[in-house]
Amino acid sequence: MGKRRRGRRKKPYPRREDIADAILSVLAKKPHIHPLELVDEVRAELESMGFYVGLVNAKRVWRTYEEWVKAGRMYDYLGVLGAESSEELELGE
């Protein structure tokens, strides 16, 4: 017979929507957060939501932030995409 695992279940890995929800939650709690602090705050928020954050890195957080801003689902509260967006608009004309 197989062994039964006892103890706690594994924490789920966060999806993009979960990361975006955590970003919005952090920005709602701390609207004047510095962009360098965002990743650590998002990881802490995800952990408090019950997710495994061991493999959530800065690239994934910023990619999710950028995708949601460009899709119009989230406003660029941190102002980090302002220069890129205006350059893309000028090139598109």
Q: What is the pLDDT of residues 33-90, one digit of tens each?
A: 999 999 999 999 999 999 999 989 999 999 999 999 999 999 998 888 875 554 444 4
Residue 86's pLDDT is 44
Q: Output DSSP code: residue 7.
A: S
This prediction's pTM: 0.77
15-36 residues labelled b (16+ CB within 10 A) or e (exposed) = eeebbbbbbbbbbeeeeeeeee
Q: What are the domain boundaries of the chain?
A: 16-92
The encoded tokens of residue 24 equal 């919005």
Do 34 and 79 meet the contact criterion of CB atoms below 8 Å apart? no
